[in-house]
Structure 1
Amino acid sequence: MGKICCILDSDESFAVRICACFNKKHVLPFSVQAFSDMDAYMSCAQNNEVELLIVDESLYEEARHVPAGQIIRLCEQPMLMEGEADACIVKFQASDSIIRDVLGVYTGRLMPAACAKTADKAEIVCIYSPNGYCGKTTLSLALAHIKGRERKVLYINLEEFSALGTAAGNLSDVLYYYHVNSKMCGGKIMSLISTGNGFDYIPPAACAKDIPDTDAETIIGLTEAVILSGGYEMVIIDVGSLVKEPWKLLEYSDKILIPSPDSPHRQRRVKEFEKFMYTSGYGDTMEKVCMVDIVGDDSVFRDGSINYACLAGSVYAKAVGSIDV
């Protein structure tokens, strides 16, 4: 018998919709199934271990007698009555909000042992440059898109102004949840992760001040927490210029990609960076650096955004293909 999560609601379309959202986001370490019929649910419960039951309040009294690791009720007006031990959350809200609330109740059970990967098995790739406007973010996204075909990849952008847009759940929210409870934040953070173009990503910070106000140790701890909860095989970190002590983040990584400088002035910046690293005790870290030759390729852009359909034959794809990651 395998562990499962069951959503039980007399409104079949509602149950199926919420179930699809959970399975799409992969925020739970087991499959989610939807039921609108009590008999069908009981039959499933006899053959599987129901780790989590999310049930409409109209079916709660009948369903609560069927063994389940934890029960969460879907209610119009959540309140815990005397003698009731099972948590309740608002039913009529956005799907992402339901997922967030469910994980808020359940997150203490999201243990690393349930994940396919552990933090020490995931590959951490930092994209960094002491130069601005050098193709760093485009290289990062190309790497995430191409490697996402083979592995489960997460992209994290640490630029204060990324021009990538943001979302209701973004890096600012992720940092907040991590600061509130770093040991039990995995579930909440996973509910904020978006998916697109072949890889997962945390939408960039909504507040630029969150980047310089966050130290490298926090970014590293956050990365570890996300890897453990999401089972990621590769994390690509786009390191911005305002990241505090970025060399600590580079030291943590397995590979560092730096776009090759295309002018004497940019070359001097890279030389100064290299000198600092060697004289500051980060010589071993510099052994992980790979300079990437990229030339601007306008064919990968459309209306100011990356056209992922054109990445395959671009100079970025060729550059990524030549890197041992």
Structure 2
Amino acid sequence: MKKQIFAVCDLEAEYACNFMDYLNQKKNIPFEIQAFTSVESLVAYVKKNPVELLLISSEAMCREVGELDIGKIVILTEGSKPKELEKYTGVYKYQASSDVVREVMACYGAEKAILPAQLPVLKKTTEILGVYSPLGGCLQTCFALTLAQILGREKSVLYLNLEEYAGFEELMQKKFLHTLSDLLYFVKQGSTGIAVKMNGMAESMGNVDFIPPVQSPEDIRGTSWQDWEHLLQEIILHSSYETIVLDIGNGIEEVFQMLDMCTTVYTPIKTDKMSRSKLAQFEELLSVRDYPQILSRMVKLNLPYGQEVLAEPFRAEQLIWGTLGDFVRELLGKDEV
């Protein structure tokens, strides 16, 4: 099935072309991208091709464009919108391209129930990689982020941190407008178009997209397994991500069922007596609960500790250049960066 069309029209040719290049580099954009630098070329194209989403500068927007059959029009502004364009949603032009895309997708997701183009036929099957350890203090999140970054060089990757205390706002020194808590709210309400709404919340981190983690542990503990399963199925069926990396904490209800959805479970370990005893109890419980398949998918990892983990300010991309990055590339059989 052909992707729906996301058109960008800006009379400033350099901006339109650069923005189109950015969109084409994003592996998870579920649209075919078309850029235009004149109203005439846009109008001629739309008359022959259905356009689902149009991002157009306020200078280019006119009555003729408004009368076209376009699914959703978003105005690219340089500040305030002209009065005649008040009925349209606007996003600020001179901000990071990733922020423009996130705001546009949020506007689109607020009105659209589901994106028809987001079907499994548009991508290969989605693999879910779990990172989980019953132990603490074993570099689990550092490994998960490094794994996601290295995989993200070749495919579209979504990283989801499912811990009760992820600390991402403190780690990145940034306040997030939307978090996983908001996405879980829509899931629990039975909202449609979950994947489209997610596109409006996704942040970029190097080669990877992520949904900012919850700020309250109750949002993890209070989510039923059925809701987690529904969220993951929505992402698998209606997003363009080829790989989901789950950084799984112990607050998840029915964590074994979560692990059972993973094609591989990477389990960071430690070698001291206490840690070996805890891991043995975990493995015994998997057997008692009749989850031998999880045991067969587990890859135990004694992770190296590199100085890049301590670097300030934190940048997830730098993890791939250090000791942990070398370890993950060897694990995956990847070439050197």
3-state SS of 1:262 partner? coil
1:35–1:285 CA distance, 2 compared to 1 (3 A): same
3-state SS of 2:257 partner? helix
For the 8 Å contact 1:261–1:267, the answer to whether it is kept is: yes
Measured after TM superposition, the shift of residue 133 of structure 1 is: 0.9
Question: Which residue identity does 2:203 align to in structure 1?
Answer: S
1:284 alignment partner in structure 2: 293
From 142, 153, 159, give the equivalent of 1:155.
159
From 46, 63, 66, give the equivalent of 2:65.
63
For the 8 Å contact 2:6–2:32, the answer to whether it is kept is: yes
1:26–1:61 CA distance, 2 compared to 1 (3 A): farther
Measured after TM superposition, the shift of residue 126 of structure 1 is: 0.7
For the 8 Å contact 2:28–2:156, the answer to whether it is kept is: no
3-state SS of 2:168 partner? coil
For the 8 Å contact 1:110–1:187, the answer to whether it is kept is: no
Aligned ranges for residues 15-26 of structure 1 at < 5 Å?
A: none
From 116, 119, 125, give the equivalent of 2:122.
116
For the 8 Å contact 1:297–1:315, the answer to whether it is kept is: yes
TM-score normalised by structure 2 residue count: 0.78
1:175–1:60 CA distance, 2 compared to 1 (3 A): farther
2:168 alignment partner in structure 1: 164
Answer yes or no: is 1:142 the counterpart of 2:146. Answer: yes
1:101–1:299 CA distance, 2 compared to 1 (3 A): closer
1:62–1:203 CA distance, 2 compared to 1 (3 A): same
Aligned ranges for residues 1-325 of structure 1 at < 5 Å?
A: 3-8=4-9, 28-35=29-36, 37-46=38-47, 48-53=49-54, 59=61, 61-66=63-68, 68-72=69-73, 74=75, 88-91=87-90, 95=100, 96-113=102-119, 116-117=122-123, 121-165=125-169, 167-303=176-312, 305=314, 308-309=317-318, 311-323=320-332
3-state SS of 2:147 partner? helix
Measured after TM superposition, the shift of residue 294 of structure 1 is: 1.2
Question: For residues 79 and 149 of structure 1, what CA distance do their matches in structure 2 show?
Answer: 40
For the 8 Å contact 1:76–1:91, the answer to whether it is kept is: no
Q: Deviations over 1:255-281 (max 9, x none)?
A: 111112221001111000011110011
Measured after TM superposition, the shift of residue 28 of structure 1 is: 5.0
Measured after TM superposition, the shift of residue 226 of structure 1 is: 2.3
For the 8 Å contact 2:53–2:70, the answer to whether it is kept is: yes
3-state SS of 1:248 partner? helix
1:85 alignment partner in structure 2: none
Question: For residues 122 and 3 of structure 2, what CA distance do their matches in structure 1 show?
Answer: 15
Deviates more, 1:3-12 or 1:261-270: 3-12
Measured after TM superposition, the shift of residue 40 of structure 1 is: 2.1
Measured after TM superposition, the shift of residue 54 of structure 1 is: 5.0
Deviates more, 1:210-219 or 1:221-230: 221-230
Deviates more, 1:315-324 or 1:128-137: 315-324
Q: Deviations over 1:5-61 (max 9, x none)?
A: 234577889978987886676675223445464312123335543233456699453
Question: Which residue identity does 1:63 align to in structure 2?
Answer: V
Question: Which residue identity does 1:41 align to in structure 2?
Answer: L
TM-score normalised by structure 1 residue count: 0.81
3-state SS of 2:123 partner? coil
Sequence identity percentage:
22
Question: For residues 308 and 79 of structure 1, what CA distance do their matches in structure 2 show?
Answer: 40
Question: For residues 59 and 281 of structure 2, what CA distance do their matches in structure 1 show?
Answer: 64
Q: Deviations over 1:108-157 (max 9, x none)?
A: 33443276326xx1111111111111111111111111111222111110
3-state SS of 2:119 partner? helix
Measured after TM superposition, the shift of residue 247 of structure 1 is: 0.6
Question: For residues 83 and 132 of structure 2, what CA distance do their matches in structure 1 show?
Answer: 49
1:6–1:245 CA distance, 2 compared to 1 (3 A): same
Question: For residues 146 and 34 of structure 1, what CA distance do their matches in structure 2 show?
Answer: 30
Question: Which residue identity does 1:160 align to in structure 2?
Answer: E
For the 8 Å contact 1:300–1:306, the answer to whether it is kept is: no
